[in-house]
């Protein structure tokens, strides 16, 4: 609008301001690193519990499914399902006992 010069010249950058900005940037990075959520893998107890749950549910549902299929094709309505359920529970608990006796540090499987 007007071609007049401003009354003051712009202030030149000061070395202290640059150092302060660098320190602020480093402090922000440290704070972000500290506040970042720590994502870690599940511990051994969590994995062991998940395995026990999977063995239990898999054994029971597998036995029920196997018994139902036998009932469906053989025509022995409640007995195949009941026997399959019982066998599934036995297999599930056998797997749970085997996992619990294996120990937490031993990753080899025993047959």
pLDDT per residue as tens, the chain (111 positions): 566 766 666 566 678 888 889 999 999 999 998 888 877 777 888 888 999 999 999 999 999 999 999 999 998 888 999 999 999 999 999 999 998 898 655 555 544
d(CA 5, CA 32): 44
Residue 104 pLDDT = 56
Domain ranges for the chain: 44-102
The predicted pLDDT at position 107 comes to: 52
Q: What is the pLDDT of residue 45?
A: 87
pLDDT for the residue numbered 77: 87
């Amino acid at each position: 609008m007007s071609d007049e010069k401003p009354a003051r010249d712009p202030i030149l950058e000061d070395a202290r301001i640059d150092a302060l900005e660098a320190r602020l940037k480093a402090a922000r990075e440290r704070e972000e690193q500290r506040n970042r959520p720590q994502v870690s893998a599940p511990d051994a107890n969590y994995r062991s519990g998940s395995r026990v749950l999977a063995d239990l549910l898999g054994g029971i549902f597998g036995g029920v499914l196997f018994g139902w299929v036998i009932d469906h094709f053989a025509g022995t309505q409640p007995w195949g399902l009941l026997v399959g359920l019982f066998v599934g529970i036995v297999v599930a608990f056998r797997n749970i006992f085997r996992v619990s006796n294996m120990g937490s540090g031993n990753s080899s499987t025993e047959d």
